[in-house]
Chains A and B, each alone.
Chain A
């Protein structure tokens, strides 16, 4: 119930004064109300819980966190053989 899940906004429509998004979570899409994230737009990732988006995922912070983790992993693997690069998943999403 407290597990909000990140999904990508595919489209936004106005209905009865509310902004409702169609949000993609992996292979499925679900509607989510955007009342609490008025600036969220198509292409943004939002954290959705019980049908409402609670935050817009901060792509820069996400990329920075992951790069720090990656860096740590790469440093660690020095001398243990080449580490496989993984896509940090940052960028302009």
Chain B
């Protein structure tokens, strides 16, 4: 496929890795934020291609993984109601709540449906006026414009049986939290290319200046990531801390303005709890009061009850780049994609799932 295959050229990948090895004079710790990038790194063995002095740690950029346990429980509560059809992206179904998951609710007769786009959830609501259709709207800035458009459209059409359980999160506040932590080892960031396609990279300039850290906006194919790593290493070796854009074929400085407009019209910034991380100020989006009639939390008067994670799951440290999945005693033993203890083992963007798929041969079970 065009714009994919040419960025998977093995010969160029080896060349870029050799080029990085030539530049490196000391150890550097780099973090990719986005779970999609984590999967590319593992799938193509890029971590193994790089010189040993470059360490990659994996960030919290997995929307399924950081959706708060309380919110999963709310979704389960809604899906269990006889009058509700809960519509979700497929990844959410196996994510463990405190006692159950959406898949079990579905197996027990709950009306849970999987869609590819929020527009499909609208179609379900139009087709079933007798049901209340709740779309589980999760994701980073990438899904926010599409989710905003669905709510906007529902209001325009007067679809009173459509609402959203919103758990939208924002990347820059999470980077700020990681960089502000005394435990952080990260010296350079690969910023998520598709989030920046929507938002541009102005916000990352502030972070780079404030924390004197280089940030490179990176794409998702192996050569994109190798080039982004090479750009970060060049900055670090030269003592520079700037924002650069590797993913120029999709990202421009200001981002996508029509997408940002609909987001601002429908959502407002709020504090948000991240699973495994805790509450991060101004790190989420919620529906504006004008859209209260489409806000599932208000429509169903959902309560927010704090619940505990299973103690053996170390996903909190994994999501903050403090530990790797292979450091977890439960990895591939009591925690597998079929029976996950934590969300990172479930999602296609979760770090534990990436290691399970591509690195579990390195673990003696």
Query: Contact residues of A with B, CB < 8 Å?
Result: 1-6, 8, 25-26, 33, 35-38, 45, 47, 49-52, 54-55, 57-59, 61-62, 64-66, 69-70, 72-73, 76-77, 83-84, 86-89, 93
Answer whether A4 and B63 are a contact pair too, CB < 8 Å, given A35-B258, A54-B256, A69-B227. no
CA distance A6 to B281 in the complex (A): 34
- Tell me whether B197 and A86 are in contact (CB under 8 A): no
Measured between beta carbons, the chain B residues less than 8 angstroms from A89 are 2-3, 5-6
Flag whether B223 is at the interface (Cβ < 8 A). yes
CA distance A17 to B347 in the complex (A): 35
Shortest CB–CB separation between residue A13 and chain B, in angstroms? 15
Flag whether B146 is at the interface (Cβ < 8 A). yes
CA distance A77 to B14 in the complex (A): 11
CA distance A49 to B324 in the complex (A): 28
- Tell me whether B194 and A4 are in contact (CB under 8 A): yes
Q: Fill in one digit per residue for B226-264: 1 if any A CB lies within 8 Å of its CB, else 0.
A: 010000000000000000001011111000101100100
- Other-chain contact of B197, A4, A45, A64, A77 (Cβ < 8 Å): A4
- Tell me whether B197 and A58 are in contact (CB under 8 A): no
Measured between beta carbons, the chain A residues less than 8 angstroms from B258 are 35-38
- Other-chain contact of B12, A5, A26, A70, A87 (Cβ < 8 Å): A70
Answer whether A8 and B250 are a contact pair too, CB < 8 Å, given A1-B349, A69-B12. no
- Tell me whether B195 and A25 are in contact (CB under 8 A): no
- Other-chain contact of A2, B2, B35, B246, B262 (Cβ < 8 Å): B35
Shortest CB–CB separation between residue A23 and chain B, in angstroms? 12
CA distance A88 to B40 in the complex (A): 21
From A2, A26, A61, A89, name the one whose CB has the most chain B CB atoms within 10 angstroms.
A2
Flag whether B78 is at the interface (Cβ < 8 A). no
- Tell me whether B3 and A72 are in contact (CB under 8 A): no
Measured between beta carbons, the chain B residues less than 8 angstroms from A37 are 256, 258
Measured between beta carbons, the chain A residues less than 8 angstroms from B249 are 57-59, 61-62, 65
- Other-chain contact of A55, B11, B18, B256 (Cβ < 8 Å): B256
Answer whether A58 and B1 are a contact pair too, CB < 8 Å, given A35-B262, A47-B194. no
Measured between beta carbons, the chain A residues less than 8 angstroms from B194 are 2-4, 47, 49, 54
CA distance A47 to B221 in the complex (A): 13
Instruction: Kindly report which residue of chain A lies nearest to residue B249, judged by CB atoms.
Output: A62
- Tell me whether B63 and A2 are in contact (CB under 8 A): yes
Measured between beta carbons, the chain A residues less than 8 angstroms from B103 are none
Within B77-135, which residues are at the interface with A (CB < 8 Å)?
89, 91, 116-120
Top 10 nearest A-B pairs by Cβ distance? A51-B117, A62-B249, A61-B248, A6-B3, A76-B15, A36-B259, A2-B142, A52-B146, A3-B36, A73-B12
Q: Fill in one digit per residue for B315-332: 1 if any A CB lies within 8 Å of its CB, else 0.
A: 000000000000000000
- Tell me whether A69 and B16 are in contact (CB under 8 A): yes
Shortest CB–CB separation between residue B307 and chain A, in angstroms? 24
- Other-chain contact of A49, B9, B143, B223, B262 (Cβ < 8 Å): B143
**Given contact pairs A1-B89, A4-B197, A50-B139, a sample of 20 additional A-B residue pairs in the complex whose CB atoms are under 8 Å apart:** A1-B139, A2-B139, A2-B142, A2-B194, A3-B194, A3-B220, A38-B258, A47-B250, A49-B146, A50-B142, A54-B256, A55-B256, A59-B249, A61-B249, A62-B3, A69-B16, A73-B11, A76-B15, A76-B18, A89-B5
- Tell me whether A6 and B1 are in contact (CB under 8 A): yes
- Tell me whether A77 and B143 are in contact (CB under 8 A): no
CA distance A66 to B16 in the complex (A): 12
Measured between beta carbons, the chain B residues less than 8 angstroms from A38 are 258
Measured between beta carbons, the chain A residues less than 8 angstroms from B149 are 33, 35, 52
Measured between beta carbons, the chain B residues less than 8 angstroms from A3 are 36, 194, 220, 349
Flag whether B177 is at the interface (Cβ < 8 A). no
10 A–B pairs (Cβ distance < 8 Å), ordered by A? A2-B36, A3-B194, A36-B145, A45-B2, A50-B139, A50-B142, A50-B143, A52-B145, A57-B250, A89-B2
- Other-chain contact of B2, A4, A6, A58 (Cβ < 8 Å): A6
Measured between beta carbons, the chain B residues less than 8 angstroms from A77 are 11, 15
CA distance A6 to B116 in the complex (A): 16
Flag whether B271 is at the interface (Cβ < 8 A). no
Instruction: Kindly report which residue of chain A lies nearest to residue B2, judged by CB atoms.
Output: A89
